Every structure is written in C-alpha cells, then in structure tokens.
Structure 1
Amino acid sequence: MNIKKQNYLLIIGTVLLSSLSFSQPMMNQIMESPPEVMMQPGEDWHPEAKHLGPGFFLHNRPQFEVYSKSNQVFAGTEQGNLYFRTLGSDKFDISIKPNEGLYWDIDNATWSPDGQHLVVKQIDDRNVKKIKLTMATPEDVVYKPYFRAGEPIPIYQYYIVNVKTGEKIVVDYDPEYPYVHIMEWNSDSSSFFMIASDRLMKQINLLHVNSETGKSSIILSEQSDTYLVGLNLLQGYSNRLKDMNLITFIDHKQQFIWLSDRSGYKQLYLYGYDGQLIRPLTNKTENGIVAEARGYDKKNDYIYFTAYSNPEQPYSMQVFKSSLSSNSIHKISDSSGIMDFVSSKNDTLWILRAELPKLLKLDCFSPEGQFLNTAWQGNFSSIGNNYFNFEFATVKAVDQKTNIQAFVLKPTDLDPNKSYPVVEYIYGAPFNNVANMNFFSPWLWDLNILAKQGFIVVCIDGRGTEGRGKAFNDFSYGKLGQVELLDHVEAIKQLAENRSYMNLEKVGIMGHSWGGHFALRALVEFPDFYKAGHINAPAIDPENFRVAVEPFMGCLPENCPELYKKSRISDKLNRLKAPLMIVHGTADDDVPIDDSYFLVEKLKNIGYKNYEFIEYQGMDHIVMRNPEWKPSMIQFFSDHLQN
C-alpha cells in the first residue's frame, strides 16, 4: 500500500489544541499513549533539523531545515543565504548568496528523490509595505512585510539548486500567475510539478518542469468565473495546499488524480501526464461531496478518499475507495465521527474518529473495508459524563429553503424552565466552518466553559461557508459581509422557537480575525438584536484586509471601489448601540493591531464610548493564548448579558 502517512497527532495536538486557553493537562490525559502510526513525521523531517525561525506568521509552525534521506543532507537559510550541511556536522558544505536585494526562503523547498537537487525560492519583497510589530517589550520592535488588498505582493522566483556545486537553474513560469507552489518530484528526479494561480485565483495551472533546463509546460489548466481552491493558494500556504491533496501523483502510471468542484461539487478526476482526462473517479450520486483524496493504494490500484455523502448530516464524513482500473466505488466506513485516516506498513487502514461527547478512537480496517479492531482510544476519565451538553440542529436559511447547520452548547445543569442569555461564536469566512465541532476543534473548550457559566452558545454555518458545494460556498462571492448575517439572525430565531430557555433579549456575539469582522458587522447591521460584542484581532474594512480577501471579492479595490465600499463597516459605526470589547496582540502579523487602532480612532471620532480596548503586549494573532483572555471574555458577557 502506497498511502502517505499523515502526522495527525503532531499536527492536531501541537498546533490546534495548544492554540487556545483550555486545560492542556486534561487534553494530554485524553490523548495519552497514542499508537506510533499517529506520530509519523513528515518525509523531510529529521530530529536533528535546526530551527530557523518563525513560520509565515508568528503563530504558524516554525521553520526548520529540510532534510534529504537520500544523501543525509540538510538545507537551510541563514541571513538570507541558502546552505547545505551534512548530517552530523554543523559546518556548511556550501553557502549560496541570493540575488541582490532578494533572500532565500526554505518554505516549500523540496528535495529531489535522489538527493542531488533542491527546488527552493528567492523572495523579492522590496516593493511590499511593512507593518510594525511590538514584541515582549515596547522597545522590542520588528518591521515585517505585509500586503493588503490591492497592494504589491512579494515576487517568488524558484531555482533548481545542485547540492554539490551550488549551481542554480531558474524555473521558468508565467509571472502573471504569482501564487506558485512546488507539489512533487517525479520518482526518477528528472522533473517535478508546480501549481500556479493568478492573483484572483480564477485560473490554476499545473506545470511540469524539466529539472535539467527549468523549462515548464502547462499540462492542465482549470478556470472558473469565481475563485478556485481559495486561501491555500496564497503565498506562504504551501504546506496547507499539499495537505489538502489537490493532486495525487501516480508516477509509475504517468497519471495523476485531480480534485475539482467543476461539477458544482468536489469530485476526483483521473488524468494522464499529457493532461488528457481519462475519466471521473467519483460522482455525487454514489459518494456525495468529496472532502479529500487520502492516498493511492498501488497494490490494488485504488484511490482512498473521504466524502460527505449524507445530506442530512452534511459535515459527517465517510471513507471510500475508487478503482482506477474499473468503474467501481466502495464505501469503507461510515462510522460516526470520522476525521481522517492513515495507513500502516501492513496494509491496514487506520481510521481516526473524534466526536462529542466522548468518542476518540483509532479503528483498524483491511483495504477491503473489513473492521479488524480498535487500536487505541482516548482516556476520558478526567471528564465527567455531562462535561459537554450540546446538540446539532438543522434550520432554514433566510430564504426558508436552504438547510443550514447549527451547533449549540448549553450549561451542564440546564434548567429548561429558566432563561439564559445567548452568545453566538461566528467566523463567517468562505474557507471555514464552525458547526462541525469535535474534540480537535480549537474553540470548543473555551466556548464550553462559557456555556457552563450560564450561557447558550451557538455556532452557525450559513450560506457562504465551505463543504456544501460551489453554489453554497459562492453565496457571498463579490459581496463579502453584505449577505451572510441574515442567515445567522434567522437561525438563532428558529432555534429559540422550540428552546424557550434561549433569551433573545440578551444575545451577544464574539469572533476572532475574520470572525472579529463579522461580529462587529453584526453589532452594526443588527444593533437591536445583538446586545454585546467581543471581538478579537478583528479585520475591519475588506478594502484593508490582507490580500486573502481578493479572490473572495473577485476583484482588486482599485478595479471595483464601489464593491468594496458596500462591504465597508467603518462608516456605519454610528449604528452601534451595544457594549464592545476589542482585544488585539501587539505582535499580530496576520491582522495587525493597526486595524484595531483604526477602529478605536473611528469610535473616538463619532463619540462612542461604550467600548473597551485591551492590548496584549507581545501576543501574536492567537490572542486567546493569553491567560487573561478567557476570564476577561467570560466576565464581559456576564456583566452585559447576565447582570
């Protein structure tokens, strides 16, 4: 079986679970003694790899040297130079300077299978504006490139570098497609594949690059009237793009599998290296909406994939396999709570399941789908039987036709005869969901503590969010912020119809990042419905968002100023009535604290005084890690919705 191993415990445990302020000892106990298959490191990882610095954002996984098992050599960067060093030695075998004014960046650097070449990029960000980050002390100041909507973005230039000589060959591709990512080398090291998209992500090109000449050719090009893929095509997101398995290469057959929503729903398509479509491998009728391809089984010529095939539970995942040599699709498992799966060296499928209230298991299946055993399960002895009091609900969007999903957390000791204030947690962006909570959802634990303090906490995935097909996702395309919130207000009202304990006279809202934007927008657009707002690291006006907003708006601000103006909220702040708490970290390089300074200045200008602004010194984008954040948040809602 030739399925790439996934490092779920490392990814989920150290990135998501550590990002918020819930009880880490409790989760450590739940996750105790997981099997080795959940701890598999990436192919380019080695325990002796040196830490090089922060990731693309300060809250991302740090950068480490990239390791080649074939020649036991590390590649890294130091002061903008690229170097190679042999395992066991701290001495550089070779150090290569960048072109004048540029610097080498190890992110997305990829070794050839024979270990003789590294594809790696230089970055030119001389035309990019910089933001000021204040670190642990006010005197510790860093300036970092940052690009907002419509502004110049860095230029990436990839090179094929010879590890022995340091000679480099320019990789040739069209600069009109600035979001460029290395995907994978051919097994014989003669060529590799890249993905490139235009700035608005309406076209994606799959490039085949000759490693001897650097010349590239387009073997597949996909276009859309809206955007394709979205956030993970941005510069700096190469690892996330790879993790979503947009492409699965089958080198020995000169074929690849392409994930596309061209039919309106994500499905898998089999292509030859000549770019010719061989046939679709999946279809919505048999397997629903594909989530991800999860690996190719070379022995049996199957592609394994996860999908959402139950329209009544649109975020409930199932595992399937599809034959590349015959038109057959088989369901492996539709057990509850499936997150994903990995494989072992012994032709075993390991399906990871996580679901409230107390489901956390790793089940073993044969490649044919026969259940073998449960290899591991979480230890819930530290959690009481009623630690989570929750439900999932289906309600109608404001059109009264479209089903949307809601997740509700309640006090453990809920008395249905009492009245409880309501707090909505919102994100709202087209690339994220909040109503599919499981143990690995980063907000679950803090929201549950809020519920235990006497609140009904509601999470809603209205139209304009992902996982439900292209039309559902594109609902807010070109009009971000203008249409989404009606679904949220309607959903809360419907939930309260048969939950009399929900007090709709006391509804608050909270959000982080894009969610901070939507929480503030809710207070502005529905000032008589939402009575308190807690916004964290908020983005304010889409015209000043980071470039991530561009593909979802469908144009740059300079080309459609009226469209961005319609989505602006800073000129509507005079509608505010509710108390507002604004929380931001001074070292936030994702949504700079300048955005909150801008908001505070606007509030001062209109004479609005019913707000509090808290700066967390040295905190990055994940302000919730500050130990003061959670008690402060709970106290805010208690003061304004309970007292």
Structure 2
Amino acid sequence: MQDIQLTWDGSQADYYALFTLSWSPASTHLAAYRVRPGLQREVHYLESSPADQLEPKHSTMTYPKPGDAITLLQPVLFDVASRRAIAIDDAAFQNPYSPSAVQWWKDGRGFTFEFNQRGHQLYRLIEVDAATGQVRSLIDEVSKTFVDYQPLVMDQVNTGKTFRYDIDDGMEIIWASERDGNEHLYLFNGRTGELQNQITRGDWVVRAVYHIDPIKRQIWFGASGMHPGEDPYFVHAYRIDFDGKGLTALTPEPANHHIEFSPNGRYYVDLWSRIDVPPRMVLYRASDNTELMQVESAEIAELIAAGWQPPVSFNAKGRDGETDIWGVIHLPVDFDRNKRYRVVEHIYAGPTGSFVPKSFSASFEPLTQLGFIVVQIDGMGTNHRSRAFHDVAWKNLKDAGLPDRILWHKAASAKYSWYDVANVGIFGGSAGGQNAASALLFHPDFYKVAVANSGCYDNRLDKIWWNE
C-alpha cells in the first residue's frame, strides 16, 4: 500500500480535518472540510472544595460566546486518480455557522451538505458536482427572524425544524419548512431544486416524521394542533401521500401520543396518555392501522391512595386577545377547594421547545407538598406553535412570554376561587433562572418573589447557540 499526499499547504491555523474525510461511493473522489480555527476563548473556573486536594483547583474550558470569531469550515474536493484538488466556489455559502457533514449521492455524481449561515436567517441545501466542483443551491430557507436549524426530532423540550429525506438517490427530496407560517413537509425535485408540491398544509404543525415508504409514496408523521378544542400541543399520528392527498388520522384518543415504528416499517407501537390519564401502549399494523394487541396499561390506584392529585390543564387568551396560552396547575396532596392557595410558577422559556407536561407522570412538583399550587405555562416565544408564536423570542429573550403568563394567572384566578393571584412567586434554572429574574425585574407589580438558579443574566456572556 502506497501513501499518496494530496495537499502540502495545511497548517495549524488552516488545516484539513481528517475526521471529516468522505469517500465517493466508487472511491474516485474524496471530500473533506478545511478548517480555520476561530477564537479559542477560555472560561475560567475555581473549585473551592475539590475532592482530591485541600487547595482550591483552577480549570478552564473553551467556550465561544456570541459575537466571537468562530471556526470556519470550507469544503474541499479531490480527484484521486489525478491527485488534484478541484476548486469549489464558496460564494453560495459565505459566513458559515455550522455546515453539516458531507453526504455523497450514491451514483457518485456529487455530494451535498446543509449550510447554516451565521445569524440563522439563511439555511441552504448545497450540491457540489464531483467532476467540476460546480456549486448550486438546491433548496433555500430564508427568514427575517431565524431559521430553527436544529433537526426535527420527537423531543418536546429540545428540537429544531429541519428535516430532509432523499428519494431515489436525490431524484426527489422531502423537506421540512416553516415558509407558510407553520412547520410542514414539502416535496422538491432533487435534480432541479424546484418545488413539486406542499405535502402537508393547514393551521397546525408537523412535530416528527416516523416512517417514509418511497414505494407506496406515503409518510407517517406526528402533528399537533389539528383538532379544534383540544390541547394544541397533543401529538397525534397521521399518514399522508407524497402528493398531499389521503391524509388519514391514526390516533383518535384525545391525548399525547408517542409512536415508535419497527425497523421494517410494518408495525408501530402507540404509547399515549394525558397528565390526568395513565399511559396505555397499543401495537398496530402500519399498512391498514389495524390494532393487533393491547401491550400494557398503567394502574394508578396506589398512587391515588397515596394522595396524588391529577394536574389541571388550563388555557387562557394571551396578550393579543386571540391566541390560547396553555398551562397546567399542580395541586397539593391535601388540596381543599374551600381554601386559598399561594401560587409558585415553575418557568423555563428557552426557545428550544415547550415545557408544560402533556403526558402522564407520577412525579410531584415538590413545592406542592409545602402547600403551594405550582403552575407551568408555555407563553409566546416557546416552540411547537406557529412561526409567529415562536418569533416573539427573536432578539427579545427577556420577554419570556411573561405578559401572556400574567394574563393566564389572572384568568385562572377568575375561574378558581382557591387560586390566590395576589401572591404569585416564580422560580427556574438556567434559561429559567434568567426568566425568573426577568419576571421580578420587569413585572414587579405582579410577581412577589423569584428564585433564580444557574441563570444567564447577560446573553452576551452565554453560549453562542440560540443567543445569537
């Protein structure tokens, strides 16, 4: 075996990253990223009482912050037989934040990567021709606020909105987008980049893609907000054809559904529950949605006997007078509706997800054991609703949906005599710590006390991710 050197110009300040190397299917070409390291900002820590020594211990970690010069990645391409680099024009992907890994077409005609421009207002699917290095943008996502560039996954508290599925080696591409104001699926011509049709549409949002059958040209997916009068965060399962026809609802129970498909796509398990309804698990055949068996069902008699109180789901209008704001009320074990209870809000309003529980849990909010009502609310600026709902967080993290939350508290007090709206406190950790401090700083006329844990109180000093 002979070593062949392809480059001579790498340096510590501008190097070829071995971990990014990607061979074409026939091993005729090699793609990789060339890396120019950014500012290696160090954050310093002092541990006052380390376990292994009496003296305090100092440590550092690399921690880029908003506005820092970041590491830049430039794709490079080599023709192995001729041992030459093929030039790639970077005009279509200037100022990159985090380009994805290189992905070759199976026929070796070229490779693709997804480009996220710094500032998160432009997200592109880029194709590079293997023979010529020619670059073209197949699909563009443009936003005046931000593209939620993290992958779309079935995670309530931490998910983005990007999804891509290649059909027939890129002849067609299924793509997720919020371009019409809600998260939906689209079918593109992978050779021309032209939009063939919008697959899903409506005043609701796609939450996950469970399974795709390219032969039947069908998609099984999760969505929320399709059922009027129901909690718009409840995830239901659906099936639809690639052309947008044949939309079929698969989960009629008014609850939050979690779907898992078998590896061969023939079966799926539906685990569903609500905060006040214990979970059930059912096995289905995917082809016709036939129920095959009840797998298991939770029994909560002992939990109820121990004094567990089912949480109360509640919604009220937000600051615009139109949008429903949803939350949950956790009651004390010895709850007496003839008494009046002080209220503690447990807040986390980071823009990555929604945080009010929708599925059953036997866990208690500990403060309820001290005689408090504990509430959780998803105000504007959090995820899983419309694009406009989410956009409230853009350059406005201090808002934290607090105007909506205050209206929700007041509406709950108007409905429930035991809800003491004159005595509302708030606590949270991390982003929730910032939110709790903001509540007291910007709304001291409403919130009486706040406890903030590990909060970021100046977003210029926090992680670079969603602070930018």
Question: Normalised by the size of structure 1, how large is the TM-score?
Answer: 0.61
Kept in 2, the 8 Å contact 1:331–1:369? The answer is no
Q: CA deviation at 1:264?
A: 1.0
Structure 1 position 294, deviation (Å)? 2.6
Distance 1:483 1:532, change over 3 A: closer
8 A Cα contact 1:108 1:181, kept in partner: no
Label 1:167 to 1:380 Cα distance change in 2 as closer, same or farther (>3 A): farther
Deviation at 1:482? 4.1
Aligned mates of 1:488, 1:266 — CA distance in 2: 24
Residue 11 of structure 1: aligned partner: none
- Structure 2 counterpart SS, 1:515: helix
CA contact (8 A) 2:39 2:68 kept: no
Deviations 1:114-167 (A, max 9, x none): 89998665654442422124568375543222222222222234567999xx99
The one of the two structures with greater contact order (alpha-carbon pairs below 8 A, sep at least 6) is 1
Q: Would you say the 8 A contact 2:77–2:86 is kept in 1? A: yes
Q: Look up the match of 1:266.
A: 183
Distance 2:12 2:263 in 1: 47
- Distance in 2 between residues matched to 1:231 and 1:307, nearest whole Å: 18
In structure 1, C-alpha distance between the alignment counterparts of 2:384 and 2:207, rounded to whole Å: 8
State whether residues 245 and 294 of structure 1, in contact with CA within 8 Å, keep that contact through their aligned partners in structure 2. Answer: no
Deviation per CA, 1:474-522: give whole Å up to 9, x if none.
Answer: 2343333247311111111211222222223432111122211111010
Contact 1:158–1:170 under 8 Å retained in 2:
no
Is the CA contact (8 Å cut-off) linking 1:245 and 1:292 kept in structure 2? no
The unaligned stretches of length 5 or more in structure 1 are 1-96, 234-239, 552-643
Counterpart of 1:305 in structure 2 is 221
Alignment-mate amino acid for residue 132 of structure 1: H
In the superposition, the TM-score normalised over structure 2's length comes to 0.81
State the alpha-carbon separation in 2 of the partners of residues 404 and 108 from structure 1: 44
1:395-414 map, 5 Å: 395-414=316-335
Query: Which structure 2 residues correspond to residues 7-86 of structure 1 after superposition, within 5 A?
Result: none
Name the residue aligned to 2:196: 278
In the TM superposition, what is the alpha-carbon distance from 1:252 to its structure 2 partner? Answer: 4.5
Is residue 368 from structure 1 mapped to residue 288 from structure 2 by the alignment? yes
Share of identical aligned residues, percent? 23
Task: Name the aligned partner's letter for residue 455 of structure 2.
Answer: P
Q: Is the 8 A contact 1:307 1:320 kept in 2?
A: yes
Q: Shift in Å at residue 265 of structure 1?
A: 1.1
Query: Measured at CA, do residues 171 and 380 of structure 1 come closer, stay the same or move farther in structure 2, by a change above 3 Å?
Result: farther
Match of 1:292 among 208, 222, 246: 208
CA distance in 2 between partners of 1:223 and 1:354 (Å): 37
Other structure's SS at 1:300 match: coil
**Equivalent-residue separation in structure 2 for 1:260 and 1:391 (angstroms):** 34
CA contact (8 A) 1:412 1:452 kept: yes
Asked if the contact 2:199/2:243 (under 8 Å) is kept, the reply is no
CA distance change for structure 1 residues 134 and 103 in 2, over 3 Å: closer, same or farther? farther
Q: Is the 8 A contact 2:44 2:61 kept in 1?
A: yes
1:589 matched residue in structure 2:
none
Match of 1:333 in 2: 251
CA distance in 1, matches of 2:16, 2:453: 33
Q: CA deviation at 1:327?
A: 2.9
Q: In the TM superposition, what is the alpha-carbon distance from 1:416 to its structure 2 partner?
A: 1.0
Q: Would the aligned equivalents of 2:349 and 2:400 in 1 still touch at CA under 8 Å?
A: no
Cα distance, 1:382 vs. partner?
A: 7.5
**AA partner of residue 438 (structure 1):** S
Q: Which amino acid aligns with 1:526?
A: H
Residue 155 of structure 2 corresponds to none
User: Residue 503 of structure 1: SS of its match in structure 2?
Assistant: strand
Matched position secondary structure for 1:226 = coil
Instruction: Give the aligned length.
Output: 441
Of the structure 1 ranges 453-462 and 110-119, higher mean CA displacement relative to structure 2 is found in 110-119
- Report whether the alignment pairs 1:345 with 2:261: no
Paired amino acid for 2:291: F
Q: Does 1:316 align with 2:237?
A: no
**Greater percentage in helix:** 1
Residue in structure 2 matched with residue 571 of structure 1 by the alignment: none
1:248 matches 2:165: yes
The alpha-carbon deviation at position 407 of structure 1 amounts to 1.2
**Partner residue of 1:633?**
none
> Using the alignment, how far apart are the partners of 1:465 and 1:523 within structure 2?
20
The answer (yes or no) to whether the contact 1:230–1:431 under 8 Å persists in 2 is no
Tell me, in whole angstroms, the C-alpha distance in 2 between the residues paired with 1:183 and 1:377: 44
Shift of 1:529: 2.6
Unaligned runs of 5+ in 2: 1-8, 153-157
Counterpart among 71, 77, 86 of residue 154 in structure 1:
71
Give the equivalent residue in structure 1 for 2:384.
467
Deviation at 1:218, TM superposition (A): 1.1
Distance verdict in 2 for CA 1:322–1:383, change over 3 Å: same
User: Counterpart in 2 of 1:545?
Assistant: 462
Give the secondary-structure state (helix, strand or coil) at the position aligned to 1:547: coil
Aligned residue identity for 2:442: E
Residue 133 of structure 2 is aligned to residue 221 of structure 1: no
- The separation in 1 between residues aligned to 2:102 and 2:418, in whole angstroms, is 52
